[in-house]
Chain A
Amino acid sequence: MRSWDPPAGQGRTLTSRATFGGFLGAAHEHLGSPASLRAAAEQSGYVAEIRHSLLRLAIVMHRYVQDARDEPDRLPGRARLLVGWDRAGAEASEALAQAAAVLHGDSAGRRQLGVRAGSDLAQRLDAATVSLIYGRDLLQTHLARGPDGERQYRSEWGAVLTSPPMSWALLGEMAALARQLQPLRGGLERSLLARGNPQALRRLSAACHWLLVMDNSIQAAERQHPVSAADRALLQALPVNERPPRPLPNLNEPIGGLCEGVIATAERARHAAWLSASEPAWSPAVTATSLRRVAAASTVTSHHCEILLRSLAGGAQESAGDVQAELLRAADAAAFARTRWLGLARSLDHVTTDTRGQLSPAAIEAGDLALWTGRLAYSDPEWTLASGPDREKRPAMSLAPTLDNAAEIVAAAHRGCESLTRLAQGGRKQFRAAANAGRILVATRSAAKLRRTARPFEAASPDRINAVLTLYEYTVGASAGAADQISHVDISAQAPQRSAPAPSDVSAGAARTTAETAEGAAQRNDVGADGRPGTIVRTLRALGVTDIELLERGAEIDLTGEQLIVDATTAVRGGVARSTRGGCEALEAEP
């Protein structure tokens, strides 16, 4: 037995989909370093042109902040005292609105979109704006509005994007941009080349000040409730909602190409499963044919994942023992998932639906996934599900000659098992919905009943339906367990990350903070305040105060005051609860 060779340089990336981080990074890159931005500001030239460019940027940033705050579900009733991130979002929105207001004005320097600016600084601002527009468009591909204006998800990423941690991460990114723009202020004030109305220069300076206010508000929230690095990374990795094209395996596809095929197909299957979960109960696509096909193909896919992981473990015998043990554990988990899927498939033999024959997209993708994983697991380049019993499994040597290849295969198996989880979840939802609609049938066993009704099928009993739903539940758990076990295989510790993250990568921390936010929101609603954010700051602004120090002090006072009210409310409620409980105990103790 051999050990894996060290990775041979930088490997290929398995996905090429645009991510939000790409556009965000481009925006930062266009603005440049503080020194270069300051230098560009000092060489700025026509002030009205810069003012217009900064206005566009502020408007786009404001839209991002509004998106991050647009979470009606988080704050039921809207009666609340804004604290923490909610307050930061409100203040950031207001600060950007103020920045836009001071920049808005005469039409001097206004350019049509696509007309190149004259100065380097305006060009930088314009380029950053365009990158941010594209980035926001990318995020919006996951969301939609329903007929009543309610938010709808167009992909499984939608729920992730609108989760509080992602909203906070988005606000944090806007704050970082605002911070990056700060050298503008000093640079413009020092510029000897700036041409134009002195009032325009003052307005630019005021806009920078509002950007600083925004940054400070968000940083205050960040200090109270930091966003984890994992959540920031996940936001950046958010891909465009674009289903990859259906890959078709070629003969003699190299291992890397097969891994790409598995990952792309897994993504398509996951997306189809997500869509299938929202199919209405009456949908003709909800058929026993589809449910059985998904179960059968997923049994085969989990079997192939087991084969792949065992082969890798065989090839790792002389390398790190830990890796081999992890691979074997992952293979066992995949085998357990296969057992669960097989049990589910068998249970579906006993039931049917009122319509049959039509195959759902999820069933088609599940079949493709079984084919692609099979091509990877077996040596025969023409392997199909109909291939006979004498097909040789791919030996470890040809499967993973390098550590890079091994990491690719582990990533492919991981994505495959993740998709199996989604397929099981989607199937469970469909089955439950069809059962509730009376569409799950069983053969009529009673001869007398059959003669009387002349119907070969009757509605399945609740016991039968529950039995199948329980098997779906087990299958979801086993598939998720396999994906989790594979994620512990640490080959990638020495090799670059290969596959794009999935929505399930939302950190446990994100889930925890979501729960905390819900709890906090409920607590704040209990306070019953008037909901006006930052009363002192608003008063200062109404007085025309623009001094950042004064505004910061005002914000601190607002925050302290609100915290005092929250603490006092909690203490009073606790005291009432304690005294009531004490009273009850006293009454019970009385003879």
Chain B
Amino acid sequence: MAAARERLRQASGLAPVLGAAHEAFGAMLAAIRSNEDPTTGLFAAFIMAAALAADGRDAVAFAPSMPPVGSRDFLDDEVDVRIPPESVARLVSDLSQLLGAQLTRSAGQATDPADRDACDQAAQCAAGIHLLARDGP
């Protein structure tokens, strides 16, 4: 997620932001799925956040300006399972906040309505993830 965050932070212009957002949603999804543990109090939040991460990933993937390289399935990536769920929640919260801001900005700049809709939809997903993950310690 750190790499995805850095790429997103540095992304400029619609296509790079969409590509970085796709990677960020995928990375969050993989991290959340690896930490869904019913014995922890974050279980419900993680389950709901995962669904939003998949929705956000798909939303940007369908944007007309999405670069082709974005169609990678991050769920196959290796995830460091030694990170405690609370830390994952914090990382997800931070990344989703940045995602939301970048996508909202991109939506304002997009000229193609389909790009704008995709950015808006993905930004809503990011906001939802942030809401679910932010209450973690």
- Footprint of A on B, CB under 8 Å? 29, 33, 36, 38, 40-45, 47-48, 50-51, 54-55, 58-59, 61-62, 66, 68, 70-73, 75, 85-86, 89, 121, 131-132, 134-137
- A445 and B40 contacting across the interface, CB-CB below 8 Å: no
- B54 CB contacts on chain A under 8 angstroms: 288, 292, 348-349, 352
A445 touching B73, Cβ below 8 Å:
yes
- Please state if A389 and B47 are interface contacts (CB–CB under 8 Å): no
Please determine whether A350 and B73 come into contact, CB atoms closer than 8 angstroms: yes
Chain A residues near B68 (CB-CB < 8 A): 447, 450-451, 454, 456
Taking a contact as CB atoms under 8 Å apart, the answer to whether A390 and B41 are in contact is yes
Q: A385-B132, A457-B62 are in contact. Are A300 and B48 (CB under 8 A)?
A: yes
Residues of B within 8 A of A338 (CB): 38
Q: Verify A356–B62 contact, CB threshold 8 A.
A: yes
Interface centre among A292, A338, A450, A456 (most CB of B within 10 A): A456
Q: Is the CB of A293 within 8 A of B66?
A: no
Chain A contacts with B in 443-491, Cβ cutoff 8 A = 443-445, 447, 450-451, 454, 456-457
Given contacts A288-B58, A346-B33, A444-B71, contact A389 B137 (CB under 8 A): yes
> Whole-angstrom distance from the CB of B94 to the nearest CB of chain A?
15
Q: Report whether A443 and B135 are in contact in the complex, using a CB–CB cutoff of 8 Å.
A: no
B136→A296 contact, CB < 8 A: no
The residue of chain B having its C-beta at the shortest distance from the C-beta of A357 within the complex is B121
- A391 near B41 with CB under 8 A, answer yes
Q: CB < 8 Å: which of A374, A451, A456 contacts B66? A: A456
Does residue A51 face the partner (Cβ distance < 8 Å to B)?
Answer: no
Question: Which chain A positions have C-beta within 8 A of B66?
Answer: 456
CB-CB nearest in chain B for A288: B58
A299-B47 contact given A386-B134, A386-B135, CB 8 Å threshold: yes
Evaluate contact between B48 and A297: CB separation under 8 angstroms. yes
The 5 closest A-B pairs by CB, nearest first: A389-B41, A388-B135, A296-B51, A292-B51, A456-B71
A379 within 8 A of B: no
CA separation between A357 and B73, bound complex, in Å?
20
Looking at chain A's contact residues, the main secondary structure is helix
Contact A293 B33 (CB under 8 A): no
B136: chain A residues at CB < 8 Å are: 388-389
Complex alpha-carbon distance, A282 and B84, angstroms: 43
- Check A292 against B55 for contact (C-beta < 8 Å): yes
A288 touches B55 (CB 8 A): yes
Is A99 engaged at the interface, CB distance under 8 Å to the other chain?
no
- Check if B132 sits within 8 Å of A389, measured CB to CB: no
Q: Nearest Cβ distance between residue A388 and chain B, in whole angstroms?
A: 4
Q: Within 8 Å CB of A447, what residues of B?
A: 68
Within 8 A of B (CB), among A182-221: none
Task: Judge whether A128 is part of the interface by a CB distance below 8 angstroms.
Answer: no
> Contact between B73 and A443 (Cβ–Cβ < 8 Å)?
yes
Partner of A389, one of B51, B62, B86: B86
Q: Is A370 an interface residue (CB 8 A)?
A: yes
A350–B44 Cα distance when bound, in Å, is: 21
Given known A296-B48, A349-B54, contact A386–B132 (CB-CB < 8 A): yes
Q: Which residues of A contact B33 (CB under 8 A)?
A: 346, 349
How far, in angstroms, from A389 to B89 measured CA to CA in the complex? 10
- How far apart are B103's CB and chain A's nearest CB, in angstroms? 14
Measured CB to CB, the nearest residue on chain B to A391 is: B41
Bound Cα distance A475, B29 (Å): 22
Q: Residues of A contacting B70 with CB < 8 Å? A: 456
1/0 contact trace for A284-298 toward B, CB 8 Å?
A: 000011001101110
Known: A349-B54, A443-B71, A456-B66. A385 touches B61 (CB 8 A): no
The docked-state distance in angstroms from the alpha carbon of A107 to that of B48 is: 69
Give the docked Cα–Cα distance between A349 and B53 (Å). 9
Specify the chain B residue showing the minimal Cβ separation from A338.
B38
Considering only CB atoms, which chain A residue lies closest to B128 in the complex?
Answer: A386
